[in-house]
Amino acid sequence: MRIILLGPPGSGKGTQAQLLVQRYGIVQLSTGEMLRAAVAAGTPVGLKAKEIMASGGLVPDEVVVGIISDRIDQPDARNGFILDGFPRTVPQAEALDELLRHKHLKLDAVIELRVNESALLNRVETRVAQMRERGEEVRVDDTPEVLTKRLASYRTQTEPLIHYYSERRKLSTIDGMMAIDEVTRAVHRQLLALGAVEPKTHARSAAKSAPAKKAKATKTATKKAAKKPAKAAKKAAKPAKTAKKAAKKAVKGAKKAAKKTVKKAAKKTVKKGSKKGPKKVTKKRAKR
């Protein structure tokens, strides 16, 4: 499953991406993290990016696409991935399409989390005010002023992607102003409708059934293992049993044959004796 989450800053993309990772066992690919990892690993693309960043330049799209290409070839990305922070522009989306086509992969879904910008600004203002009241430090990039600039950048650069993916029938729009769990359920329903996940895929049921399946498999394996020696012993005992039976039969046959021979010999002797007796008597009588 390969997904892109679209939405302005504060729309909840990061939260939903993490939930999708946990639920479907896929990886979240952040361009920033991938860039840092490639530089640290010293890959050819990473070294090129390091040189550009060292000179204060922006990493060009072809370098970022090269880093993504290397990353999705890794074993943990085989089940799928969520792209975080890429593509940001239409040219990047076109480059990604070309990359996936070259690797014989397809993009399953592009999910837009649509939010009300005024509501987002109100949320940030409220959060910042509460943090200041508690005496907590407010991040410089987490203020209404910074958010306003980021929203303007999103409208200019990234919003055209909505039209781009809509034309290609890849776009699904979800109300990002709902509660987090409601957005999660809506994303899951949309992925089901698109055929990106199996109908029975559910994190809780999978988590519950996994130990049961494991126990069942172990029980079956143990049962089979226990049966195997018994079966082997039975098989080994079979020739011995057959030999015993044959020996018994041979002894019985020998006894029967011996008995028959003795009986026959005795009968012959008796017969011979009876023939000799009367002849002697006759001779004596004749002499007289």
Query: Is 204 marked active-site?
Result: no
Separation CA 67–CA 85 (nearest Å): 13
Contacts (Cβ under 8 Å, ≥6 apart) of 10: 115, 120, 123, 124, 147
Cα angle 45, 47, 51 (rounded to 5 degrees) comes to 115
Nearby residues of 125 by Cβ (< 8 Å), 6 or more positions away = 144
Is 13 catalytic? The answer is yes
Contact criterion met (CB below 8 Å) for 84 and 33: no
Contact 207, 219 (CB under 8 A): no
Candidates 36, 88, 114, 123; catalytic one: 88
Q: Is 88 one of the annotated active-site residues of the chain? A: yes
Catalytic residue chosen out of the listed positions 13, 23, 48, 50: 13
127 is known as an active-site residue:
yes
First to last CA, the chain: 130
Active-site position among 36, 114, 123, 150: 150
From the list 36, 114, 123, 127, the catalytic residue is: 127
Residue 241 known to be catalytic: no
Among the listed residues 101, 132, 139, 223, the single catalytic one is 139
Burial track 263-285 (b if 16+ CB lie within 10 A, e otherwise): eeeeeeeeeeeeeeeeeeeeeee
What positions carry a catalytic annotation?
13, 88, 127, 139, 150
